[in-house]
Amino acid sequence: MIVRREAGAVVYSGTSVYEGTVQVQVEKVGSEATTAQIAKLIYDSLSEKSEIQQVTQDMANRRVKITLGIGAAVFALTQDLNRVASVFLVDYSCALKLSTPVTFKSIMYRAASQGILFKGGSAIEKLVNVDTCVFDKTGTLTYGNMEVTDVIPLCATNSAKDLLAMAASIEEHSNHPLSQAVVNAATQHDLPHIDHGEVEYVIAHGLRTTLNSGQIVMGSRHFLEEHEDVDFSNDEQTIQEYEALGRHLIFVSFNGKLIGMLGLRDHLREDAIETLASLRDLGINELIMITGDSQFKASILGEELKLDRVFAEAVPSAKSSIVESLQAEGKKVMFVGDGVNDAPALTAADVGVAMSQGTELARQVADVVLLHDTLSAVAQARELSDIAMKVINSNIKAAEYINSGIMLAAALGYLSPAMSALLHNGTTLSILGRSAALRHI
């Protein structure tokens, strides 16, 4: 949402100027800048192996010593070179070292076909361990575009259609998101344009114009009450009723008298409730929302979505602090966001997920990027990571047990070198085939 900025205020890199001009003083340059630090973080992360890959490689390296030791023991006891050859042809390394990266690549391919980009195996591995999911409200749980839900005339001379037509005719002169929502509502109902005088846009407050020789003023309650001396006392109960529904209200006055108000609400994603339920089924214990809305409005949405916790009236810089405080409680945190100011939280979280309509900075720093504008992909990403890790762990066990059996049989003289090689390589190819099969949905 548009906010007012005056001399001495802070603006973020990537901020859009809707009205007026802005002059900024850059406080950090070069390697000190946040974007440069994030770029370094991305570069470093690309060279990192996942923990499970490192573990399997270490396991494979240790098994080489075991194979050599068993081969030496067999030769010392039997002096049979065929037995020794049969033992040496059984190698744990192939299946252990190859199956894990093949599984990761396969699940990444499968995820990409479903509109999910995993940035490496480490992202998949970390996502499995997440037990807490934190959502930034706007652009994630909601679409970030306001819609008119209520048109409330407060005088007998205007109907709801009259009020909306008049409001839209005035609001079309502003590019504020709330104004566009009002214009869209009038367009959907095919309402006529109402002629009026020149529109004055009062930055961060509202609009002022003339209509039928009278003055129309639209905007926030603060603007009309404090600056235009409009009396709200007679309609206090009605206003409170709509505020209790979580509506953002635009008030309309004519010649100093309140004549109506428009109620708007951020549009909740259709798949939000279903996605949150799926995440709980997939083992996420706590669902949390961060928003700049008032505590009252945030609580209403929190109850509707059955969230465990809501952090309201949060400034952008507080998002990463909230994530870090949750981690200090011992939680593994996934943060889902889309904006420039979400980048620090996406970085601080154990797993950062960026929405498809998010800023370039958010997509660069996130561990997982959604390629389609659907929230359900967050649950799908968790499900795919679960599948990948289950296959990896079962592959490790299969490689251990089967190769150990083959080696024991070779050491006892039951297998020829050719048969030992056939069984070992057949096992390796079977395990790799199982991993590669994950490409297909």
- Any idea which residues carry the catalytic annotation? 136
Q: Which residue has 């994950």 as its token pair?
A: 438
Measure CA 111 to chain center: 15
Q: Give the torsion sign (CA, 315, 318, 320, 322).
A: negative
C-beta of residue 247 within 8 angstroms of C-beta of residue 148: no
C-beta of residue 364 within 8 angstroms of C-beta of residue 117: no
- Give the C-alpha separation, 51 to 192, whole Å: 63
DSSP 8-state secondary structure symbol assigned to residue 91: -
The set of residues, in sequence order, having a beta carbon less than 8 Å from that of 273 and lying 6+ positions away, is 305, 306
The set of residues, in sequence order, having a beta carbon less than 8 Å from that of 409 and lying 6+ positions away, is 415, 420
Strand, helix or coil at 157?
Answer: coil
State the Rg of the chain over Cα.
Answer: 31
Q: Give the torsion sign (CA, 155, 159, 164, 167).
A: negative
Query: 257-268 and 142-153 as β-strands: parallel, antiparallel, unpaired?
Result: antiparallel
Q: In what order do the strands lie in the sheet with 351-354?
A: 116-118, 368-370, 351-354, 333-337, 132-136, 286-290, 309-311
- Give the C-alpha separation, 371 to 24, whole Å: 34
The set of residues, in sequence order, having a beta carbon less than 8 Å from that of 253 and lying 6+ positions away, is 216, 217, 218, 224, 228, 230, 259
Q: Which residue has 């235009």 as its token pair?
A: 228
